[in-house]
Amino acid sequence: MDKNNDHGLLGLTKQRAILVSPDESLKELLTNIWPEDVIRFELYAKAKGAIEDIFNNPPDLLIIDNRVTDITAAEMARLVKSENVYRQLPVVICFDEDDLVKPWDWNEIEVDDFLIRPFFMPVVRDRINLTLCRALRALDANPLSKLPGNTSIIQRIQSLIDRKQDFALAYCDLDYFKSFNDKYGFSRGDEVLNMTARIIVNTVKSFAGEQTFVGHVGGDDFVVITSPDIVEEACKGIIFSFDGIVPNFYDIEDRKRKSIVSVDRQGVTQTFPLMAISIAVVFNIGGKIKHFGEVSAIAMGLKKKAKENPKSNYVLDRRTP
């Protein structure tokens, strides 16, 4: 086992990997690279038992040796990657040189990387490290905006709470986004979300020297974390830009009318204003909040208040600790 922490995976712990291989020397090699509290390997010589384990308790990494005989490595990879709930699981396949005589169809076998015999320890180590880091980045990014998602947002909030660092969290969402989507279709809706993400990121970034974070919870919900000093300015900037730009995303008649007219399922004609952005801001000053759950609970309450106003606006949580 690596006693000097020289394995390269700093900051990652408690990763669980499944290795499916009849090759004892490969097991030996892998388990010697990382300490057990960084990557713990579960070893299967055959595919059969492994598959059930993978499905019931998906690991953080799956390494399949092409020498496995009962089910082909390709078939195993396909089993995992064809299910949406498992497909984010990074899969590395191990080859003998002869396996690569003909090219593989990587659209068919959607693995993340491969290793080839004879194994050279530094290459194995860094390939797997890279695969894990890449998978973590890809896993949590919102597929539309590429912003970090819930896991990163929660981690960020909890780490600020743990470090007792003051912060402001602004929870942004769009009013009348649904009616826009219903009328114009989801790809026009996606345009609006991409635009909103850019506005939020650039507005927040424009405060020189401030540590900030923007995450995309999903749909039309975004989260901004900044220092309490600049959050109100940031809200004003976001609202100003959003209100100025959003009319461009409507067709010319709706833009002129400043509303959209649609017919609901009951056949009733309804008029909706142009989209607006509502922002609820929660402060954590002097460590009054102990858990990230409190942050989202307060934000949800404030959001209702912000939403009462059909125009873009922000509400600050002014409760004293």
Query: Which tokens in the block code for residue 126?
Result: 């860094």
Tell me whether residue 51 or residue 199 sits nearer to other proteins (CB atom).
Answer: 199
d(CA 102, CA 79): 22
141 binds other proteins, rule: CB under 8 A: no
- Site residues for other proteins, window 45-84 (CB under 8 A)? none
Taking the CB of residue 135, how many other CB atoms lie within 10 A of it? Answer: 18
d(CA 185, CA 77): 35
Tell me whether residue 110 or residue 243 sits nearer to other proteins (CB atom).
Answer: 243
Tell me whether residue 195 or residue 217 sits nearer to other proteins (CB atom).
Answer: 195
- Site residues for other proteins, window 235-254 (CB under 8 A)? 241, 244-245, 248-249, 252
- Site residues for other proteins, window 96-135 (CB under 8 A)? none
The DSSP-derived string for 86-113 is TTTS-EEEEE-GGGGSS---TTTS--SE
**What ranges in the chain are assigned the alpha helix state H?**
24-33, 47-56, 73-81, 121-140, 150-162, 177-184, 186-205, 231-245, 252-257, 292-307
Q: Binding other proteins by CB under 8 A: which of 2, 36, 190, 264?
A: 190
Contact mark string toward other proteins, 150..179, x via CB under 8 A: ------------------------------
Q: Name the residue among 178, 300, 189 with its Cα closest to residue 249.
A: 189
Which residues are CB-contacts of 287 (< 8 A; sequence separation ≥ 6)? Answer: 161, 164
In order of 68, 72, 109, 111, the CA distances from 48 in angstroms are 10, 11, 19, 19
Cβ 216 to other proteins shortest distance, Å: 13
Tell me whether residue 206 or residue 309 sits nearer to other proteins (CB atom).
Answer: 206
Tell me whether residue 134 or residue 205 sits nearer to other proteins (CB atom).
Answer: 205
- Site residues for other proteins, window 191-220 (CB under 8 A)? 191-192, 194-195, 198-199, 201-203, 205-206, 208-209
d(CA 192, CA 186): 10
Cβ 129 to other proteins shortest distance, Å: 29
Residue numbers of the site for other proteins (CB under 8 A)? 144, 190-192, 194-195, 198-199, 201-203, 205-206, 208-209, 241, 244-245, 248-249, 252
